[in-house]
Structure 1
């Protein structure tokens, strides 16, 4: 008793409070409410610490509130009073629990429209085809918002349209549709003029067509010129496809004509020559003045230029040369060149001999040392002047100038040295060219004549420098000769020594005539070369050329030759003959020929003739057989080939009796039978053309 009194006093002094868990509960629309009624809980706290009472009891729906009044099919808030008792503590608490029936499911969008409208059209009804619903609200109670500000009706493109559907509970569903603004009009292509394209130009459709579009500025132009040969003048089919960015296409079919409006070209050399008088001229010279000629279409060249002129090379003057070139389209180019014929060659002053005058002597006639001529002006019309400063009383070299001018003002000037000496040096004259052909060293003095007006040759000092001459090797070598007389006057003479090979090589044949059979093509004609040698060069078989062709399949005499040339150009040719003969006779085969009595005979039926070269003639005998009498006959064939080889062959011919036939010839004399057989053979020959009569 005392214990419970103590407990009662203790509880009276304690401080209690309760905390409700889940006092506001969201209930899903159409859900079972009893899935939620057990959620609210009361937690008891004593002096700030939670205590537990195993006998805790809940009463749900008191104070005239009932759980059964909650309709989860209607969205609203329901207030239900809960009471909790804690018997261990003799405490009771009440609390209003709010049940909120909520629609948390957003509307359902079933179909979102996609619109495709022509460029420039009005905005369509964007709700047409937009299908939606809600689990609670009626369709007409749902709020639909359409956002279409991105759509530009005059600009091609695909634009997004945003849909928003909101129910009365604030649940929102969104979707995105599309509005495609497209161009449905194809470009306009109008031909302005005929399509005449100069050869070599690039086809530009804008030159011949006006091309525009209702929307696009950049169009795709496709030119089908697969049948056009731009390298050949002519008219060709042409197809032009113009497509805008939307794929709308306009096709135009027309023709394109390649025309040649460009004249051929002729370019002459910039510096035309002056033709010398009296020198013949031909077209090749005038054509050589053409630097280049051609055409943009036709394959024309310098050789196609027609040249005409009236040049007279015997008369000095200026003449016209006409160069004309015409292409296949009739375009003509004419170029005129002025060609001058003039005397271009100055007079010729030839020094016949160097003037050498003994000191103290008399001045000789100087004109004897020169010869003056001109190609056009006669000598008596040449202007000739001469000047000199010769002193005969003083040793030295003096100048003598001779000048000649022709009527064309061409001038030649020759300065001649006149020697005034006290003595005359020896004279060295080469009598003949120094030619060594035997490759042997020798004295060369015999090739020269050395004289002096005062000394004999034995009295002069003659030095012949042959150190550079190699006598055993062919070549051209320098030679210097010095002759000094007793007075000390020296003459030098320079010439050349020719060491040459004039002896041709030697070819030794094995045979002059070679006999072989037809078809013996494995024979090497070089086997007929026995030897080859030369007095100077080391020649081999590889240096030998073979001339002549051989047809190994044809009999005959073939003329062949070996040719060899040494380094000095000496050539030797050795000829020989190759005889090809056919000694193989023809081959003839046959089968036994069966002929019905009275039938004509083809004597070549079943006969085969072959020959390694060719068949010349085939004949047989007897030429005529009596086929009216059955029996066995022998026919002899003679075959001759083109070489005359003969083959003789016998063949059996069996004449078969006709069953039940009575041979008329049995009642005829033998002479009539022979006559009939001859007539039959003659008829066969006329019909077939085969066989010859012996």
Structure 2
């Protein structure tokens, strides 16, 4: 550690630096300076590491001809004093300028601001008059006063905000808002325009007779006092009108009202005047029908009070005037003249005498003979008619016909209809074959018939079998009807017989085509080989199957079994089935071992008994060339076969004893080996079948 300290002391310029903090100190005016002297602080950094615990000694009274005693906190200004800091352990000294800024931080104080007001139209006042201010340091005359009057609208009466912003030279500010009022003190003016004369019953509109204005307000309250006047009765009355502005200023005007009947009666006619039909009788009631109402603003009048004149000749077409006049009791009169037309607006009539229905291929008719033409004014022989039609008498259908009949007044009656060319003869139907159904399903039977029509093609005729009484699922003979309809709906109905018969053989299916039976095994149930036995009509099952055969169950051979199923309609199904009688049981050989003495006569078939369930065809043995004259033990293999070819092998021990008592075992060794080899060969052949 001492070595590191020595190294740091030897190179202070390269690795150390002193940093001063809080070197500008704000001191409120009139404050004690002492607490603020100790705010500045010096910090030592070695290789940018702060030596937090380094011992430092300050000179805070000033160095280099600067003195702390020169700082006067009674005056707002800046003082620069140089401080010295010594880091004793590191032999480092730092001199730094400290600034003491004596400042004023207290805002001015508003003692009093008076509220002001003016009349509408006056100039704004001096808002600084009467304002009382004070400050902790500056003279009130040195304070800056800004008055914000931007909210004031001199063209409108109202109460507005005026804001005072006060600041001292140090920038401390205070604001206060007071109210300023612009008042309206002038009443509206009322000017008469003309004498007040109104029609009886008329609503009094003061704007017709007076002009009222105000210097400020555009919306005024108008109070009309007509309590002494009856506007529904003719006479002279007293009234008054009062105008009040929004500030409560008020003006009053008295006036005289003359109520008179100035309005003539009202004669309300129809919007359109209906024409008068020729030959119509003209009556007062008819003339009054053109009037909707007669009314008066004061008197009670009726339509019967009308004076009506006219010049109408209802038997002659033309235009004629009608004169109407009505008067009230004040002498007010209303007259109207209308012009009405005497017309013929009725169309001629077209009456169909006989239906326009004609048979196909018939001659073209004279169509005018089927109609009658008439009119209420124009003679029948002066009517103009036109018939438009073009029926094709060789083709059925509807053909349009149009008839136009016009009278002398150009009234036109149009008849539109159809000429109907029809076919009323039904088709002809001939049955050419009996109807026989064999599959119990409904069929298309039209090919059992020939049919034709005098108009329609065969392909256009509709053929229908009416077989409601036919049960297609039950054999029998049923009545039915065949109906052939042409395109015109003409029908031909023919009674027919429908026969339902069964010609389909039953269904008989065996599970297999053959069966192999071993002699001696349990005999099979021949019915069990039937898989399906059914009929399309009869309720047949396996129990209805007849089985015939000539099987000898104990004799080998191939036998035929005949299965037969027949329904009540004598339809039958026969299936042949093969039974193969077979034998897979080999013969049985029974024998005991043989013992002979040397030189005895040997019979190898001695004591051999062969049995078989069918019969034995032969028996052999080997080895057949064995020399049995030598003493020893021999194995003889017997093979027995039956007539089916089944065989069985049987090994028998034959012992030849010598005449002496000694027996050489070694002498039997070749025979034993040979016997074992032969036995193995025959065993392999037996396994291969």
**Structure of larger gyration radius:** 2
Fold shared per TM-score above 0.5: no
Give the TM-score taking structure 2 as reference length: 0.38
